[in-house]
Structure 1
C-alpha cells in the first residue's frame, strides 16, 4: 500500500519534504497520518479517472499499446516529439527454417526493430524503426556482363554453388509487412498470426505428371487461408509497390479456392491478392484455381523485353526503359510518358551497346553498368538500371499513407490508416471497436522471399 501511494505521488508530481528534525514523535505521527490520508485521496481520485495515462515507458515482448492522442503526428518520416508518449516495443523478427530450402542462406538471421503506435478519433498511426547499414530498394538491377557481352539481372536472393558456397549476394529489397485478422475470421490467426496462412509445410499432389505424385512445397511459400470466409489483411511497405509514392500496398489473403484446389496446386495455391480484386467467375486455370478480376496497371511492372542481337540474330533480354546516366533507384511510370526522362531501348548490338531514339549506351567503356565486387561484397555499377517500372497504387491498395526515410544507419517507416476504411469487400481490418488485435510483423533485408518473422504480437488500445 505504501509503495502504491509513493508511486501515485510520483505520478501526480507531488513532492513533499520535511526538513525539520525537532518535532515531537507524537506530532510527527499525527502529521504523517494526515499527509498519508491526503495522498490516498489524491491517488484515488486520479486513478479512477477514465483517461488515466498508461505508463508509456513500459515495454514487453508481445504487446504494442496504441497511445490515445489528441494531436496527430505528421507523416513525414521525422519522429515528432509526440511519439515520445507512445510505448516502444522491441521486436526481433527471425528467419525461420521453412523446411523446403526456400530460406537457405538466411535461416537464423535476426532483424531487430522497434514499433510504436498512436490513435485518435479517425486514424491509427505507426512508427517502425529498423537498423540497417545498407539501403536496398533497387530490385534485381540490370548489369552488363563483360565476358558474355550480354545484359542480365542480378538475383533477388543469395545464390550458392553445389557445395553451398556463396557465389553472389542477393539484390532484393528492404521492406516490411504486417498481417491482421479481418473480422476475426481466421481462427488459427489468434494463436499463429503469420503462420496461420503459410503453407510451405503442406505437401501437394502434382498433377503435371501421370500418375500424380506427392511433392513438398519446394518452390514457394504462398499464403492462403483454410476457409471460404477467412481473410487476412496484409500491409506491405514495398519499394516497388507504392513505397516511392508515400503509400503502403494494401493486400489481402483468402483461401485461393479452397483445399480441393490448394491441395492439388501446392505452391501455386496463392491466396495473396491486391485489395479490390475478387473472384470474377466460376472458371479456373489449371488445375482449377479461381480467376480473379484484373488489377489496373499500378504498383510495378517488369522492366524487360526481348530483342534480337543486331536486329536479326539471337533473341536476348534487355531493359525496356532506361534513364541514361541516372543513378536513381526507380524509374517511375510517369518517366516513360511523353516528355519523361526515360527512353525506350529499341536495339541491342552483339557487343552490348543499347540503342534508343536519340543515342546509344555503351557499357564497355566504364564499370558504370557492370557487375562489381566479390561474392562476399557484391556490388553493381552506379548507373545499373532498375529491374522494375514503378507506379502509384490506387483505390483500395492506397488506404495506408507512409513515408520511408533511410537515415544512413537504418529505416524510419511512419504510416497511418483510417480506423475503419470504406472497404465493403471484407479485405481490411476494422480497428474502430478498439478491441485487441493480434498481428504479425515481417522484415526483409536485401531479399525477395526470405524474411524474418515476429508472430504472436498484440495491438492494444489505450482507452
Structure 2
C-alpha cells in the first residue's frame, strides 16, 4: 500500500459543494505528515490501539495510524457451486486494515489495490442499432462458451459483518458464512406438492433464529461516500427455515437500519413483513415512457442534468431545483425531451458505448442510473471517506463505540471485548465479491 508521504489524491467534494456543482470531482495535492510504520502485522487479528489524537476522516493516512498494527488479509472470491460468481472465482483483493479507538469512537483504515476506480454503476447509454436506451450490466457478461462479452459496470465496495451481542452461534465458527445460504436449494411451497428448486441466481442472507442478528456495514465507494457516509444495515432471520421450511435461497434477511418486523405475509413463503424505511439513500433513475407518446413502452432515464459530463449520480436536491430536468418524452429515434429542451443521442457518441465492444468504455455524457441523497438516522451511524489513489483505495471510517440503537441492529463495542468479523471487497461487480472470514477485532487497553 502507499505510504503517507506527499501524494496526489482524488477527493470528493463536500455535500455543500455538490449542491452547487453536479457530479464531478476535484484533484488536490495534500501534504501528509511522514509515517514510520512498524512491522507488527497479523493475518487474523485486528488490534485496535487507544489514541489521544484521533485521525480526521478525510482519506489521508495521518501519523496517528503508525501506532496501529496492520491486519494483512487477502479476500478471495469463493465458488458457491451454483454459477453465481462465475468469471470472478478466485479473484484476490489484497487488503490491509488498521483500527484505533478513544473513549467514544472506533476508527478504521482499509487499503486495497485496485487500479480501476469503478463508480459508474449501470449507466444509461443509447444503442444506435436498436434505437433504444439501455443500461450497462452490473457484472461481466459471458457467452455460452464462457467468453466475456462485456465488462461489468458495478461498484467498488467494501463490507464488514459483526455478530450483534454474540446472538448468532454459527458466527463463531463460520463468521460471514453464518447467514449466507447461497449454497443450498430450497423447497417451494407455492406449488402443491412442494418442489425443491435450485438456488442458482441469488444468495440471500438470513440467520438461524428469531433472536439472531448480524450488523452489516456497506461501504459503497461511489455513492454513500458522496456524503461522507457508509450504509449501516443489519441481517435477521426473515422467518427462516423454522417458518417456511426453507433450506436456503428464498428468505431475505438483509435490511436497512430502523425498519422492524410489522407482521407476517399470509401466503407462502410466509415471511415477516417490515415497516417502510424513510426516503433516503439512492433510488433508481428510471421510468417507462411510450415511444412517440403512443408506441411501445420502453425504459428511459427519469432525470438528467443537461450537458453534465462524467456524472455518476444525480443529486435528489437537483431534482427540486432547475439543475436536473425530468424527461417527459422519448421518440422512436431515441431523442429525449424535457421542458425547455431535448437530448439527441444520435449526434456523436457522447451518450453511447465507445471503444471496444467487450472492454471499451462509455461516452462522457451517459446518464447516471441513480439519484442520491444522504442517509439519515440509524443508517447514518458511520462516517466514511474514500479516496482512489490511482492504484487502489484508501477508505477511512468511524463509528461510535455504542450508538443510540435500541433495536439491537448495531454491534456494541463499548465493553472493549473481542469481536469476530468478516470482511468483503467488490471490484466493479454487483453480487460477486471477495471475502475473508474468521477475523477478530481486539482492543489493546
TM-score of the two chains, using structure 2 as the length reference: 0.89
State the partner residue of 1:178. 160
Query: Contact 2:159/2:218 (CA < 8 Å) preserved in 1?
Result: yes
Choose the corresponding residue for 1:370, options 352, 377, 380: 352
Note if 1:274 corresponds to 2:256: yes
Displacement of 1:266 in angstroms is 4.1
Displacement of 1:350 in angstroms is 0.8
Note if 1:383 corresponds to 2:362: no
Q: Distance in 2 between matches of 1:299 and 1:268?
A: 25
Choose the corresponding residue for 1:336, options 307, 316, 319: 319
State the partner residue of 2:27. none
Distance 1:396 1:359, change over 3 A: same
Render the CA deviation track for 1:153-207: whole Å, top value 9, x for unaligned.
0000111111111111110000110000000011111111110100011221123
State the partner residue of 1:49. none
Distance 1:272 1:444, change over 3 A: same
Runs of 4+ in 1 over 6 A off after TM superposition: none
Q: Distance in 2 between matches of 1:374 and 1:286?
A: 46
Question: Which has the higher Rg, Structure 1 or Structure 2?
Answer: 1
State the partner residue of 1:107. 89
Query: Contact 1:371/1:379 (CA < 8 Å) preserved in 2?
Result: yes
More deviation, 237-246/88-97: 237-246
State the partner residue of 1:300. 282
Query: Contact 2:96/2:111 (CA < 8 Å) preserved in 1?
Result: yes
Note if 1:79 corresponds to 2:79: no
Render the CA deviation track for 1:364-419: whole Å, top value 9, x for unaligned.
11111101233542311111111111111110000000011112221111000000
Query: Contact 1:261/1:269 (CA < 8 Å) preserved in 2?
Result: no
Displacement of 1:289 in angstroms is 1.1
Note if 1:130 corresponds to 2:97: no
Render the CA deviation track for 1:263-288: whole Å, top value 9, x for unaligned.
44843310000011100124456421
Choose the corresponding residue for 2:125, options 139, 143, 157: 143
State the partner residue of 1:153. 135
Query: Contact 2:190/2:268 (CA < 8 Å) preserved in 1?
Result: no
State the partner residue of 2:34. none
Q: Distance in 1 between matches of 2:295 and 2:199?
A: 39
Q: Distance in 1 between matches of 2:268 and 2:320?
A: 36
Render the CA deviation track for 1:64-107: whole Å, top value 9, x for unaligned.
11011111111111111111111112111100001111101100
Render the CA deviation track for 1:124-168: whole Å, top value 9, x for unaligned.
000001211111112110010010000000000111111111111
Q: Which has the higher helix share?
A: 1
Query: Contact 1:106/1:450 (CA < 8 Å) preserved in 2?
Result: yes
Query: Contact 1:284/1:291 (CA < 8 Å) preserved in 2?
Result: no
Equivalent residue runs for 1:172-251 within 5 Å? 172-239=154-221, 242-251=224-233
Note if 1:162 corresponds to 2:144: yes
**Residues paired across the two proteins, number:** 408
Note if 1:317 corresponds to 2:299: yes
Query: Contact 1:131/1:409 (CA < 8 Å) preserved in 2?
Result: yes
Displacement of 1:258 in angstroms is 2.6
Q: Distance in 1 between matches of 2:345 and 2:298?
A: 16
More deviation, 356-365/237-246: 237-246
RMSD across aligned positions (CA)? 1.5
More deviation, 366-375/304-313: 366-375
TM-score of the two chains, using structure 1 as the length reference: 0.86
Query: Contact 1:231/1:253 (CA < 8 Å) preserved in 2?
Result: yes
Displacement of 1:356 in angstroms is 0.8
Query: Contact 2:190/2:269 (CA < 8 Å) preserved in 1?
Result: no
Choose the corresponding residue for 1:288, options 257, 264, 270: 270
State the partner residue of 1:253. 235
Query: Contact 1:262/1:268 (CA < 8 Å) preserved in 2?
Result: no
Q: Unmatched 5+ residue regions in structure 2?
A: 1-36
Q: Distance in 2 between matches of 1:284 and 1:126?
A: 43
Q: Unmatched 5+ residue regions in structure 1?
A: 1-54
Query: Contact 2:184/2:249 (CA < 8 Å) preserved in 1?
Result: no
State the partner residue of 2:32. none
Equivalent residue runs for 1:391-430 within 5 Å? 391-430=373-412
Note if 1:96 corresponds to 2:78: yes
Q: Distance in 1 between matches of 2:440 and 2:247?
A: 33
Displacement of 1:240 in angstroms is 6.2
Q: Distance in 2 between matches of 1:455 and 1:228?
A: 23
Query: Contact 1:168/1:374 (CA < 8 Å) preserved in 2?
Result: no
Displacement of 1:216 in angstroms is 2.1
